[in-house]
Amino acid sequence: MSAAAVRPDVEGASARRLALSHMWVAFALFAVGTVLGLYQLLEREGLVATSAPRYYQSVTLHGVIQAFVLTTFFIVGFGYYVTATSLKRPVLWRGLAWLGFWTMLAGTVMAALSIASGRSTVLYTFYPPMIAHWSFYAGAALLLVGSLAWTVITIAMTVRWKKANPGLPVPLPQFGMTANAILWLWTLVGVVAEVVFQLLPVSLGISQTVDVGLARSLFAWTLHPIVYFWLIPAYVTLYTIVPKAAGGYLFSDEMGRIVFVMLLVFSLPIGLHHVFVDPQVAAGWKLVHAFGTFLVALPTLLTGFTIAASLETAGRLRGGRGLFGWIGKLAWNNPVVLGGIFALLLLLPGGFGGLINASYAMDSMVHNTAWMPAHFHLIFGGAVVIVYFATAYALWPKLTGHSLHSSSLAVTQLWLWFLGILALTVPWHYLGILWMPRRTAYTPYDPGIVERWKPWGDLMIVGGVMLILSALLFVANLWLTHRSRAAERETNMAYADTVDPVLAVPRLLNGFTLWNWLLLVLMAIAWSYPIGQFFVLHVHEALPWGGH
């Protein structure tokens, strides 16, 4: 079909506008967050003026931006677009969607101003009884509450589509997005309870003390599944966009569905592994959650196989022969494909490190050392964010109607990011093995201790510089595409076809009712005592302390 033929604009301009608005907020602030990251590296190595308050303020803003703002805005924007294009329907309740956007933006601005004021230097992980100014929690709450609009719209559109198409499989991209919307609702329960019932009342002076154990359990409830909330959209891209961009087919639609269901069910009841060395949780409960943590490695192992197999179909269609010949034939010059390849490569060491952290007692060796931030920068900043880049490169021409400003610049940008992430996180992991504690503004310790760390900290700066260059190239490319006048020929979104056509799938892999009931049971088992104990123990609540 030529570009001049009728273009059924089924997803509607509204989905494109929603997607662009959300994603621009995400990526603009992402660039700011990257600059903060480089500042922190330089400050810690003493290459710019050292200032502990400014360093921790920067860490707070960097964490809030990259973990909450980049992710939530990207996911909601991408989500609307996937829903509209895969179901071929305009976004339902557009007023609600925009209300959600403005609420999220207002919350982001409020939290950012609160951090900038210097009264909310509590890091993005909160850690009561350190208490920030109330505007920090209120801002964070608005950001989260605004995203609820997206969950409601996503789930409602899936339900309506299923009613209109009885017996037909929900398209895989939308199945993944619906899983993520449901996951997000479950995830939010913990942190919202902590903010509403504990942190806001203390920060407003309504309560005088805070139950720290309860707060840490509630935060741990959220802390693990939130990571999968960030990951699932990346998997949607890997399963449904990358194989097509590579010129191949998705190896298995059903395995994708099984993976999305597993991510939803397994990632929720395991959060206690974040408090493995906390004194207020008994060993047995930690062991139960450790066991569950291993189960959540399974969907990622399956995904690695399915995506590699999908890429193989593409490599062979492009003339690749032999056991490894297809690898060289892949479209390495296509940014969407390259992002997918890099993500798979980074998931390997990242996942390996994660298994070490999950290992109950072995975690004591690396807990709160530099190993931890190294781990999540590798697996989130590396594997997940690189797929966000690939997604943006796939979507920008369709969202703006202009062809990508420069594909080769995009390829350069991805190489810079991939190598930059390795240059940053390999020495960082090693610093953890050298027992360097995480999150210190500088290292005023005995020279014999600090000397060992110094060369590795310096190496990290090389990675930091590469990452900031890469981030700026990325945003510039999107901006120039947006402002370009070169019309994109194909603005309709099409997702990857599967090797075998999917005509029907079992009901269990086409909906979430049973899985939600199962989750209710699992969450009751996993959390009723670890949360409930604080209401029966003789707990001494703590006095609040300022974050400054």
Partner 1 sequence: MHIHPVERRWAWIASALVVVMAALIVYTAVAMGVHPPSNVETIDSTRLHLTPEFAEDNLGVRREKDGRVVARLVMTRYMFHPQEITLPAGTPIVVRAASGDVVHGLHVPGTNVATQVVPGYVSEVHTTISFDAVSKIGVRNADGSVTVGLFCDEYCGPGHQSMWGRVKVTPP
For 403, the 3-state DSSP assignment is coil
274 is catalytic: no
- In this chain, which of 144, 334, 363, 398 binds partner 1, going by CB under 8 A? 363
Q: Which stretch binds partner 1 (CB under 8 A): 29-37, 147-155, 284-292, 391-399?
A: 284-292
Judged by beta carbon, residue 343 or residue 436, the one nearer partner 1 is 436
- Which of 234, 357, 349, 383 is closest to 294 using CA atoms? 357
- In this chain, which of 286, 377, 398, 402 binds partner 1, going by CB under 8 A? 286
Using rule CB under 8 A, residue 280 touches partner 1: yes
Residues in CB range of 205: below 8 A, 6 or more apart: none
- In this chain, which of 123, 193, 338, 471 binds partner 1, going by CB under 8 A? 123
Shortest Å, Cβ 344 to partner 1: 15
Element of type H or E holding 331? none
Residues in CB range of 81: below 8 A, 6 or more apart: 11, 15, 16, 18, 19, 395, 399, 493
- In this chain, which of 364, 454, 514, 520 binds partner 1, going by CB under 8 A? 364
For 439, the 3-state DSSP assignment is coil
Burial 494-503 (b: 16+ CB within 10 A, else e): ebbebeeebe
What is the rounded distance in angstroms from the CA atom of residue 474 to the CA atom of residue 418? Answer: 13
Site for partner 1 in 407-436 (CB under 8 A): 434-435
| Residues pairing with 131 in the sheet | 546
Judged by beta carbon, residue 155 or residue 297, the one nearer partner 1 is 297
- In this chain, which of 24, 93, 98, 127 binds partner 1, going by CB under 8 A? 127
- Which of 299, 367, 303 is closest to 340 using CA atoms? 303
Using rule CB under 8 A, residue 220 touches partner 1: no
DSSP-derived letter for residue 509 is: G
Residues in CB range of 8: below 8 A, 6 or more apart: 492
Using rule CB under 8 A, residue 8 touches partner 1: no
Site for partner 1 in 320-359 (CB under 8 A): 355, 359
Using rule CB under 8 A, residue 282 touches partner 1: yes
Using rule CB under 8 A, residue 302 touches partner 1: yes
Site map (CB under 8 A) of partner 1, residues 176-205, x = contact = ------------------------------
Q: And the tokens for 390? A: 């690939």
136 is catalytic: no
- Which of 219, 226, 232 is closest to 391 using CA atoms? 232
Shortest Å, Cβ 446 to partner 1: 6
The catalytic position among 119, 257, 289, 375 is: 375
Q: How far is CA 164 from the centre of its chain?
A: 32
The catalytic position among 56, 175, 228, 260 is: 228
Site for partner 1 in 488-547 (CB under 8 A): 499-500, 504-506, 509, 533, 537-543, 545, 547
Q: And the tokens for 93? A: 């309740």
Q: Which stretch binds partner 1 (CB under 8 A): 65-73, 174-182, 288-296, 334-342?
A: 288-296
Site for partner 1 in 36-55 (CB under 8 A): 52-53
The catalytic position among 376, 380, 430, 495 is: 376
- Count Cβ atoms within 10 A of the Cβ of residue 285 and give its class: 0-12 exposed, 13-18 middle, 19 or more buried: middle
What is the rounded distance in angstroms from the CA atom of residue 392 to the CA atom of residue 389? Answer: 5
Using rule CB under 8 A, residue 114 touches partner 1: no
Q: Is the dihedral of CA 47, 49, 50, 56 positive or negative?
A: negative
- In this chain, which of 89, 318, 438, 482 binds partner 1, going by CB under 8 A? 438
- In this chain, which of 20, 91, 182, 212 binds partner 1, going by CB under 8 A? 212
Q: Is the dihedral of CA 521, 526, 529, 530 positive or negative?
A: negative
What is the rounded distance in angstroms from the CA atom of residue 305 to the CA atom of residue 294? Answer: 18
* CA 454 to each of CA 75, 437, 459, 487: distance values in angstroms, whole numbers, following the listed order: 38, 13, 9, 51
- In this chain, which of 46, 319, 437, 532 binds partner 1, going by CB under 8 A? 437
Whose tokens are 């609540």? That residue is 541
Site for partner 1 in 440-469 (CB under 8 A): 440-446, 448-449, 452
Shortest Å, Cβ 386 to partner 1: 23
Q: And the tokens for 427? A: 């020495």
Using rule CB under 8 A, residue 309 touches partner 1: yes
- In this chain, which of 361, 487, 494, 521 binds partner 1, going by CB under 8 A? 361
Site for partner 1 in 138-157 (CB under 8 A): none
Site for partner 1 in 52-91 (CB under 8 A): 52-53, 56, 59
Shortest Å, Cβ 141 to partner 1: 22
Pair 250, 498: CB distance under 8 Å: yes
Helices in 45-120 by DSSP H: which ranges?
Answer: 52-63, 71-87, 94-116
**Total residues interacting with partner 1, rule: CB under 8 A:** 82
Using rule CB under 8 A, residue 278 touches partner 1: yes
Element of type H or E holding 415? helix 407-433
228 is catalytic: yes
377 is catalytic: yes
Judged by beta carbon, residue 27 or residue 126, the one nearer partner 1 is 126
465, 232, 183, 354: CA torsion to nearest 10: -60
Site for partner 1 in 238-277 (CB under 8 A): 251-252, 254-255, 275-277
Residues in CB range of 35: below 8 A, 6 or more apart: 468
485 is catalytic: no
The catalytic position among 367, 439, 482, 548 is: 439
Using rule CB under 8 A, residue 162 touches partner 1: no
Q: Is the dihedral of CA 452, 348, 271, 211 positive or negative?
A: positive
Shortest Å, Cβ 106 to partner 1: 28
Where in the sequence numbering do the catalytic residues fall? Answer: 224, 228, 375-377, 438-439
